[in-house]
Structure 1
């Protein structure tokens, strides 16, 4: 018997190559985690360079460049946190992929900020602090710096913690706290603060109620009907017409403030005209889409997919137009104070809007998916019909609030609408007579079909089994309950947003005043 050769030790070269491979794997893993922060830091540096090309040689150039860098940082945080308003419901309903949704939102955020963002900057720039706080240009500059820094840090922490908060409330709180540090409590427009506080309660409740109302309408007129497809042909064009009119009014009130004089009557007329045109034009389109579809809920989802994509695009445009002010408003005030010594007539050049739009888009691309998953899939289960109700409710609530002059947060409304849809479904599952009759009739038909397939079968043997029905009903309720833990944590985050931003801004402003004034 031949003697077995001894096992040779692994060659030194192989050992070294394995070590190098392990080091490379570790480096790739570490680099992956640093890619997003590194990209964000690079954007802030490029923002400062971009701003310097416009202000070099002008008064206050260094201050303006620093303000631009802070505005870029704030804009990225807005994109990372507020993206849930635009695409969270549609991604959660699987009407679009995460990548497609982020790309769509990024493009329309930039377009909204650049094309229609200038008109809404003035409130943040000069509407919160009283004249006593803006008497000294240097005081105003450092107060706005403190407001931007505090708001950006707060939104950054909230995004890291997975809490969708209002960036509008953050920057308003920051400006308020900096104003108090500059000139005392008399420097704050307390009427505006009171309105914002009221909106904490009113806007999410209103969004939830409107979303639940539309979901009730969809269930009663389409989902729990004998012929779902025929009902959908009648009512889906109506719903899309309402959505089109709502977004047309939304953009007329908020998005196109640069091109149209703000008027509730004009916005209403535009909404009615656009809604009627969309309703009439989409009747043949929906009829063609409905051809050959089976009479089941899965088929209905196909009819709501395109409206959801369009709503995400329009919401992103309007969000870029409206919320760019949260980043660019303080910067516009700083530029005006540094160059002209006043902020009464703030001019917003295009390059400032470009910084805000690009920052919002980059922030949502780098850090947006976390909160998109939270709002779209972790609070309650969404499908295209429910997501459609959330999007429509968000637009309608903003329009109603704009008509009555109530300052609201689109974040609060969108998240409130998601909660409203989930809580309504809990109630409807237990209390709807139409649903009960529909399920009973369907169970009877299933029983009859099974009986026909069996030689000696009797109707009602298995599908009507009470224990099975009760188990299915329990499973339905268990799966679709709204997660109360998310509800409580989000509400708590909302409540502390403004006071936390104000307190942090007051501290930062006090330090800045002592160092630079």
Structure 2
């Protein structure tokens, strides 16, 4: 069939395919290097460079096999033998629908499945063109089932590997010996899995499609053994020397830091962030319990104020700002063990021997001074906490997390189990820890406290009760410290898994290029083959230059807009460390590569998110931002119908508004 008159549709298809590849790069490529950036082993620029290389190579070497499923496995193309232009218009519509929804998701920083998008878009245009009879429903059921199986399988495998690593390496007092013994196995497994997958796929550029399976297995085993030997002979001794050198430097820096901390001038100690209340008697710990000095009776005023034993009167405007309890610097009978800011707000701190304390103390003090110098922004709004980890916990501890008082009358219901009674029978303080699931939930808590204070619905009536023992607040900080230990690798473990995670991220990017390039280029390949061959059967092999074209578009999207979803995958969903990142990368890559070789277009996004959540949950039950995960999960379900609607709308425009006049 002569299709020369439809060349304009091919040109439009190439333009839209590049936009689609751009959207895939902006969204899906975050799956590959998001964890590496989040753990700190590579910078964003380095991740973009490495991803550009390996995404392109993966698309050229592995992308052809999955592309066949996308082109011919979802709909029955033989139904379009007499209406070839309709099928060409459908391929263009599918690319438009998929690109639009992925760009919207990237703007919202939600990692969605490119496979979802292209499958939904393909079904959308087919139902407009010839109805439901054009859809191969059994193949669709197989694909849909893989969307649920892939995150569960990938998460289970990643969680199991992390459990083994934590038991044999991370939980040891000295993780270096076991870690060095395991390095050859880790490197050999990573190289072997990916080598077998590449060779079994039969990459046409390397001429590997003619090798028998036994030869591929033998070559893979030999390569893995060689890799393990090289790592044991060269990498392990070098890593042992590097770790020993790092420990010496850390010991020297710690000694210098301790000496410098002892030499802080008096005027610096009097700065707001260093100012301590009279009740703080320990120089090493700063907590916020009610001391024995605070057991004097406090009288409530009818107007909401409070009379202290020394006669000073606190009105509501003085004692509550943004929902925070305030106390004066000098108070004869009412004090706290802890610190207070220059505005009188009491807040927790951490142990002064902590390196994190020393680092954050200086940064936060500078930030406070900058805020006071440039305006009157609320104290609780100036800090930009990055993610739901101990950094958030400690920063909130040092800066001051508002404590929301809950007034209870004697006739009211008993307090909830998570409430902590601080003073008497009048006031219960919600035991909302300094730790929150995410920065967004922390901000919501601050906003709620501010609203309560502005509406005037909160009165603070302090009444000391000598019958109640004072309740120290050490537990809050102990939880923070415990979570910090669970969420961070020490320097030895960081060095052990540093390059290993980079290697697995590169292979993950390679696998992603092989699996997901078909999402961007599959419809374009179909469009080109239909135009070139004059029919719908698409029997020729996938042109390598088209795969390279898709790889270039993916890299462009990554460089321009990829940082948004990288932040979600690597930082916001759960804290990532090199050890956990290695488990996430290697097992999700294994799942994706096996599926690619089977010709099943599974979602690499589902595999990676499943691994991230599973490992994060095993590391710390509170580490996963479940609100964000819920939003991602909902986005997965609406992706297929939304992409299908966009595609159907464009297809209707072609069928009823453009093609009849061509």
Segment of structure 1 superposing worse, 501-510 or 161-170: 501-510
Q: CA deviation at 1:318?
A: 2.8
Q: CA deviation at 1:350?
A: 3.9
Q: CA deviation at 1:269?
A: 4.9
Q: CA deviation at 1:251?
A: 2.7
Q: CA deviation at 1:253?
A: 4.6
Change (3 A) 1:371 1:206: same
Q: Which of 276, 285, 294 lines up with 2:225 in the alignment?
A: 276
Change (3 A) 1:318 1:58: farther
Cα shift readout 1:129-167 (whole Å, capped 9, x = no counterpart): 114542221110111111110011111111111111110
Q: Which of 67, 90, 104 lines up with 1:157 in the alignment?
A: 104
Change (3 A) 1:139 1:83: same
Q: Which of 24, 27, 34 lines up with 1:81 in the alignment?
A: 27
Change (3 A) 1:119 1:282: same
Q: CA deviation at 1:359?
A: 0.5
The answer to whether the aligner puts 1:507 opposite 2:454 as a matched pair is no
The answer to whether the aligner puts 1:413 opposite 2:607 as a matched pair is yes
SS at match of 1:324: helix
Normalised TM-score (structure 2): 0.58
The answer to whether the aligner puts 1:326 opposite 2:468 as a matched pair is no
The answer to whether the aligner puts 1:299 opposite 2:245 as a matched pair is no
Preserved contact between residue 71 and residue 526 of structure 2 (Cα < 8 Å)? yes
Q: Match for residue 10 of structure 1?
A: none
Preserved contact between residue 77 and residue 536 of structure 2 (Cα < 8 Å)? no
Q: Which of 468, 479, 485 lines up with 2:627 in the alignment?
A: 485
Q: CA deviation at 1:62?
A: 1.7
CA distance in 1, matches of 2:136, 2:645: 16
Segment of structure 1 superposing worse, 341-350 or 148-157: 341-350
Change (3 A) 1:87 1:68: same
Q: Which of 134, 140, 143 lines up with 1:193 in the alignment?
A: 140
The answer to whether the aligner puts 1:289 opposite 2:255 as a matched pair is no
1:429-468 mapped onto 2 (5 Å cutoff)? none
Change (3 A) 1:410 1:178: same
Change (3 A) 1:401 1:326: closer
Q: Match for residue 431 of structure 2?
A: none
Which runs of 5 or more residues in structure 1 are unaligned? 1-56, 428-476
SS at match of 2:536: coil
CA distance in 1, matches of 2:199, 2:632: 31
Preserved contact between residue 112 and residue 320 of structure 1 (Cα < 8 Å)? yes
CA distance in 2, matches of 1:131, 1:119: 18
* Matched positions, count: 409
CA distance in 2, matches of 1:386, 1:132: 47
1:42-191 mapped onto 2 (5 Å cutoff)? 60-135=6-81, 136-191=83-138
CA distance in 2, matches of 1:506, 1:154: 13
Q: Match for residue 426 of structure 1?
A: 620
Preserved contact between residue 201 and residue 209 of structure 2 (Cα < 8 Å)? no
- More helix by proportion, 1 or 2? 1
Cα shift readout 1:181-238 (whole Å, capped 9, x = no counterpart): 1111110111121112112221111111111111111111111124321111211221
1:204-223 mapped onto 2 (5 Å cutoff)? 204-223=151-170
Q: Which of 495, 498, 509 lines up with 1:316 in the alignment?
A: 509
Q: CA deviation at 1:351?
A: 3.6
Q: Which of 468, 478, 498 lines up with 2:640 in the alignment?
A: 498
The answer to whether the aligner puts 1:237 opposite 2:184 as a matched pair is yes
Change (3 A) 1:266 1:316: farther
The answer to whether the aligner puts 1:225 opposite 2:367 as a matched pair is no
Preserved contact between residue 77 and residue 152 of structure 1 (Cα < 8 Å)? yes
Cα shift readout 1:43-64 (whole Å, capped 9, x = no counterpart): xxxxxxxxxxxxxx96633221
CA distance in 1, matches of 2:550, 2:503: 23
Preserved contact between residue 128 and residue 188 of structure 1 (Cα < 8 Å)? yes
Segment of structure 1 superposing worse, 77-86 or 240-249: 240-249
Segment of structure 1 superposing worse, 370-379 or 290-299: 290-299
Cα shift readout 1:392-443 (whole Å, capped 9, x = no counterpart): 111222245457765411111011100011111135xxxxxxxxxxxxxxxx
- For the aligned residues, what is the CA RMSD? 2.4
Q: CA deviation at 1:96?
A: 0.5
Q: CA deviation at 1:260?
A: 3.1
Change (3 A) 1:499 1:346: farther
SS at match of 1:227: coil
Q: CA deviation at 1:103?
A: 1.3
Which runs of 5 or more residues in structure 2 are unaligned? 248-488
CA distance in 2, matches of 1:331, 1:301: 43
Change (3 A) 1:266 1:66: farther
